[in-house]
Structure 1
Amino acid sequence: MRSIFNYKHLHYFWMVAHEGSIARASEKLHITPQTISGQLSQLESHIGSRLFDKAGRGLQLTETGRLVLRYADDIFELGQELNDVLRGAPSVGASEFIVGAASALPKTIVYKIIKPALNLPQDIALTSREGPMDAMLADLAVHKVDMVLSDTPINSAFSVKAYNHQLGESTLSCFAAPRLAKKYGRNFPESLNNAPMILPTGQYAVRQLLDGWFQQQDIHPVVCGQFDDSALMKSFGQAGMGVFFMSSTIEEEICKNFNVRVIGKIEEVKQKYYAISAERKVKHPAVAAICDSARSSLFGH
């Protein structure tokens, strides 16, 4: 029977895999590249297979390397959790909770999803980031964020080890400034044909859902603007640039805050919401609180 792993060697491998080169790992670990290279050779000898191949000036994982990395990620994540517990981290100050959100998600929805995490018995120090989905997932992969909120589930197109936790779904409502609401509010949804419209850009799932619905309903909108940012889209909608769509869950807040009216609701289109984490089984208390509350209250029936 083979002897047990030398976990120092495994840790050096783990650092090199995440940093992309021995040189960068040596800077983080404050040891010489020669030492790391020697330890990796011993680990490869113990395993009986190469873990890296050269790729230009850097390294890329072999199939065996990718397998070992998946286990190493779990091992060192669990080790960090143990370290935090032994240090009594929750009792000496607020626990940091970093959330990434796709730009197209309405800020009010993001707030409502995250809010239950702030009601936990332990103090939570929240950091919220937003940006394109691929950037948020890249941060998740290197543990710069604890959770990513999106209306698009992660799939095999993203080379990130992460898991979808569906929070719920909502129908879409159509909003317009008072002048446009008066004109396009009657005979909905046929009234939307040739109506001025502002929409999310095509990279977001909700836009693809809307395009499919337009086709089914034989509606040909006049697209006056496309936006990555939901707040900016609502501001242009408030100014009367065109009708726009948002989750029915936040109808009341949108009408009140932007002085717009609901001119119709699309029952056939459901926008889904996901919390994406590096954990298959949610262990982070803030992520667990978010998932439980969203399913039972925010999107619950």
Structure 2
Amino acid sequence: MFISGFLVFPRSSQNGVSKTQSAGNQRHKSSLVGTSETTRATTENHPPFCEWLAGILDGDGTMKVSKQGYTTLEITMGLEDLPLLRYIQHMLGGSMKMRSGAKATRYRLQHQLGMKQLMNCINGHVRHSARLLQLHRVCQVHDIPVILPKPLDAQSNWFAGFFDADGTICIAMKHQLPQLSIRVTNKHLQDVESYKVVFGGNIYFDSSQNGYYQWSVQSRKDVIMMLDYFKSSTFRSHKSRRFFLIEEYYSLYDLKAFQPDSIHHKAWLAFLDKWNKLMI
């Protein structure tokens, strides 16, 4: 349901955390950290949007608490992903502003009722190292116990959101052969390890740009596994549209259409034209 442009989710008693506290544990409840087991009934009632949104926030978002105690959410993405940010604005309310000279758009939510509803939405799904700390601070302001994230699996929509923020699909020539790869990068190793655990592939360290970790799958088997995940989860970034061309890529690859003397080479060039236009 929507009230004044904000999502309203079903509520349960204290998000599944018991109100009973022992005499020696009379802390403010916002300092409590619940477990996924004690709150599972609440988090599973949320739509997949919440888990996808948590992935977006883990990659490109930030949550802040001002000196006056007001909380805000900000997500900054390139201009090409304006439709994605408009979708979030449609779901949560908030405002958007073009970043001058940066070719980027900043989405901001600062309505305090909206922020409280946002916390109830993403709580239990946020898992990025820095974002968990931000979540705890914001939840403390809104008197909401923090829920620790439960393990991810191949049906988790978080992967789609984090890919929309920090992922890419590319084709590079290697030994005169095209190589398709799906990649996700982040400064912290633990924030890309879940992809390797669930989808296979490898993690590499790149020392450029002050260092970052990159998860990558290149084998057809692993790429197809990601393609199957794509068909069951909703991606919304402009780069995710390349998933629709993966099957065509392998069909042309098997025909060796990438070779200049192939009778299918014109089809390969037309494919590359479509592929490159999806990143504009």
Same fold by TM-score greater than 0.5: no
- Give the TM-score, by structure 2 length: 0.27
Larger radius of gyration: 1
Q: Which has the higher contact order (CA 8 A, sep 6+)?
A: 1
